[in-house]
Amino acid sequence: MARLHPVVRLVDYERLVKRRRLRVKGPLVLEEKLDGYLLVVYNGAFYTGSGRRAPNWLLRALAEAGADPLPASRNRLLYVEVYGRCLSPGGFHRNDKRCYRAALVDAARPPAYAGNIEEAVLLSRTLDPLERRGIAEDTGLEHPRETVITVDSAPRARMLIELLEGFQDREGYVLKLYSIHGHVLLPDYGAKIRGLLEVKVKHSYRDLLAGIRATHNTVF
């Protein structure tokens, strides 16, 4: 899990559901998981997901993608995934027509009294998807492809893995639970403050599920 961008594992989500620590009902946002490198932009400075200053090669890749998030980063946290044919660690974008692309995967607004990047992340409130889409359009960033479904209760891991069928051309997807959609979130992972819990669901988890079934483990 990136320190500045908490996206939890599917197995951790499943444990939360089994312990009834989540109340999920309403729209679920399934957003494609891009295979690249994360940049966190805050008040004109660039950081990696681990909280270090972003390396120059990654900034050059962002520039070549034709995006400029700096003006929109004033009093905002912008989470930008830089990917493409030349920047695809898992090879999922090896056939992309463009060498570098950049997508705004999340955006948040810290309180005015937030100081450094760590405080800003801990205290920030996630912007709703429509507002994020507007920022993406204004800055030349892409907005990840998404699918929205509606549920009456928290889906279990098996269902989430089945939903991977809609993301065959990607590493997987990120399940996004927004409190503005009516979900009651827990304080773990900063979800209550952020107003968002994110769960990564990858194609590689199919093998994990098969292994769990083979050993009669009931985690899933």
| β-bridge partners, 38 | 81
List Cα–Cα distances, 138 to 41, 94, 119, 134, 181, in angstroms. 15, 28, 26, 6, 25
Over 90: is that where the pLDDT of 47 sits? yes
What's the rounded mean pLDDT across residues 50-59? Answer: 96
Which CATH class, in words, describes the domain spanning 35-143? alpha beta
pLDDT for 2: 79
Token pair of 119 as six digits: 């405080």
Taking only Cα atoms into account, the Rg of the chain, rounded to an integer number of angstroms, comes to: 17
**Pairwise CA distance, residues 213 & 220, whole Å:** 8
What would the 3-class secondary structure string for 32-98 be?
Answer: EECCCEEEEEECCEEEECCCCECCHHHHHHHHHCCCCCHHHHCCCEEEEEEEECCECCCCCCCCCCC
Report residue 135 as tokens.
């920022």
State pLDDT tens for residues 77-97. 999 999 999 999 999 999 999
Strands 26-33 and 146-151: antiparallel
**pLDDT band at 1, cuts 50/70/90?**
low
| pLDDT tier for residue 17 given thresholds of 50, 70 and 90 | very high
| pLDDT tens for each residue of 154-204 | 999 999 999 999 999 899 999 999 999 999 999 999 999 999 999 999 998
What's residue 218's pLDDT? Answer: 47
Q: What is the mean pLDDT of the chain?
A: 92
> In 3D, which of 200, 2, 4, 203 has the Cα closest to residue 118?
4
